[in-house]
Amino acid sequence: MPTKTRIKDYPKWVVTAMWVSALLIAVGSYRFLIADIALVMPAMLHHALERPLMFYLHIGLAPIALALLPLQFSNGLRKARPAVHRWLGRLYGAAILLAGVSGLWLAYTTEEGPVAAVGLGLLSVFWLWTTGVAIRHAMARRIAQHRVWMIRSAALTLAAVTLRIYLPIGAVTVGFEASYPIICWLAWVPNLVLAEWILRRGRGAPMGATA
């Protein structure tokens, strides 16, 4: 039975929808550049006022990691310009290092309660961990393991997308207050489970195969 180990093995519309939503959310996150936080991210005003460095580091750098995903998973770019892939990989890693540490601080100081704080805090820890392991494998030229850990890292980076899909659904069903803490877990745990499923499904295929 053929295994689906590469992104291009999945239906084109699924892959396109994933990358387009990643890019749209990354670009939309920079709305703070054209209007006041109080206007465009009112729920984040306390972070902006009380811990501006951590807040702006996070919202300035996390979208870069998200926007880099389609490029880093492009077989064409990786084959044609491996040096570009390596430099963008360093940028992805640096963005996540700073956005992950600041995200951890924002999680610790969130006003949405302990369930949300632990959900987002663990997401930060797993984000930093999976990305760090992925980069270490790349530096040691262990490409098969690099690929596996990068898929895990990407699943967590895409939490920025899933969170923003669930937020309006939560708001119109049980309301923001009740849904937000659950969404802080729902945004990434199923992503990680899906990534593991994809990886297990592809096991047995040539490990050099790229996502």
Under the rule (CB under 6 A), what is the footprint of ligand HEM? 25-26, 29, 41, 44, 58-59, 62-63, 65-66, 103, 106-107, 110, 112, 116, 120, 123-124, 127, 156-157, 159-160
Considering the complex, state which of residue 88 and residue 205 has its C-beta at the smaller distance from ligand HEM.
Answer: 88
Question: Among all chains, which residue has been given the structure tokens 């530096």?
Answer: 139
What is the biggest distance separating any 2 CA atoms in the chain, rounded to whole angstroms?
A: 56
Considering the complex, state which of residue 5 and residue 187 has its C-beta at the smaller distance from ligand HEM.
Answer: 187
Burial of 20: CB neighbours in 10 Å, binned 0-12, 13-18, 19+: exposed
Question: Closest distance between ligand HEM and the C-beta of residue 208, in Å?
Answer: 28
The whole-angstrom separation of Cα 112 and Cα 131 is 27
The whole-angstrom separation of Cα 211 and Cα 209 is 7
Considering the complex, state which of residue 100 and residue 202 has its C-beta at the smaller distance from ligand HEM.
Answer: 100
Question: Closest distance between ligand HEM and the C-beta of residue 24, in Å?
Answer: 10
Question: Among all chains, which residue has been given the structure tokens 């295994």?
Answer: 3
Distance (Å) of CA 186 to CA 115, 166, 180: 12, 8, 10
The whole-angstrom separation of Cα 55 and Cα 165 is 22
Question: Closest distance between ligand HEM and the C-beta of residue 14, in Å?
Answer: 20
Question: Closest distance between ligand HEM and the C-beta of residue 207, in Å?
Answer: 26
Considering the complex, state which of residue 58 and residue 137 has its C-beta at the smaller distance from ligand HEM.
Answer: 58
Which are the contacts of 168, defined by CB distance < 8 A and separation ≥ 6? none
Question: Closest distance between ligand HEM and the C-beta of residue 184, in Å?
Answer: 8
Considering the complex, state which of residue 184 and residue 198 has its C-beta at the smaller distance from ligand HEM.
Answer: 184
